[in-house]
Amino acid sequence: MPDPSATRPLRVTVWNENVHETTEPEIAARYPEGIHGAVASAIAEHHGDAVTVRTATLAEPEHGLTEEVLAATDVLVWWGHIAHDRVADEVAERVQRHVLAGMGFVPLHSAHWSKPFVRLMGTTCTLNWRNAEDRELVWTVAPGHPVAAGVPSPVVIDRQEMYGEPFDVPQPDELVFISSFSGGEVFRSGCAYRRGSGRIFYFSPGDQDYPVYDHPDVRRVIANAVAWTAPTGERRPPELRRRETGWFEAPGQPGGESR
């Protein structure tokens, strides 16, 4: 059966809790269209007519992530920071289920503590951090990976929050970027995973206190991550059933049973 996604634009939903932008004037001034608007524009800028991008926020009914919205989303990009606990468990479970069925998932920055990412990783996803206008250097360690295409090494981010190891996540299937900071800290800042039929790319650079999502190389990485996590075939949920199997014994051996 032909893959219908091959004949239509890639459908991307950018989710943002949108709390800082609606409560803190200096952040609203930095991101006048919201962080979700800045991220959505980066994706559209790089992919043009090959994508359709919609946004959703915490305050919407079901956080804008209804069953119908997720069924019509090929890749979900997620930004959160101070309102992880306000995301309904049933919505987090819904996102997890769609990722396992094949929807791409791109959690950004503090989304390491988002309910969907923690569910998919199965660990605490804790890390060290320091917010002191640090310089971040993002080094490419897998130059052949599609998410690194066209990205210089290092990407220099002059003002950023420090994220540092240990980062309590499973070993990435592919580690694409690591970051270093002026205090000597390092961090696995670009991690690729596969869960069920879905692909996940976690990318850490990007904070509400700094204009990181205006950085051209950060914008390129996000656009590349959307393309890499996109489903490659028909989405279908994993089959959860027990399969009965038998054991076989060589012909002529007594006491055996074959099925």
Report pLDDT digits (tens) over 100-151.
999 999 999 999 999 999 999 999 999 999 988 899 999 999 999 999 999 9
Superfamily in which the 8-122+189-229 domain is placed by CATH: Class I glutamine amidotransferase (GATase) domain (3.40.50.880)
Cβ proximity of 196 and 99 under 8 Å = yes
Whether residue 166 is preceded by a cis peptide bond, meaning omega within 30 degrees of 0, is yes
Q: Where are the domains of the chain?
A: 8-122+189-229
Rounded to whole angstroms, the Cα distance separating 218 from 212 reads: 7
**pLDDT tens string for the chain (259 positions)?**
335 456 789 999 999 999 999 999 999 999 999 999 999 999 999 999 999 999 999 999 999 999 999 999 999 999 999 999 999 999 999 999 999 999 999 999 999 999 999 999 999 999 999 988 899 999 999 999 999 999 999 999 999 999 999 999 999 999 999 999 998 999 999 999 999 999 999 999 999 999 999 999 999 999 999 999 999 887 776 665 566 665 545 555 444 443 3
DSSP string, 111-151: GGGSHHHHHHHTS----EEEEEEEEEEEEES-TTSGGGTT-
Classify the C-alpha dihedral 199-203-206-208 as positive or negative.
positive
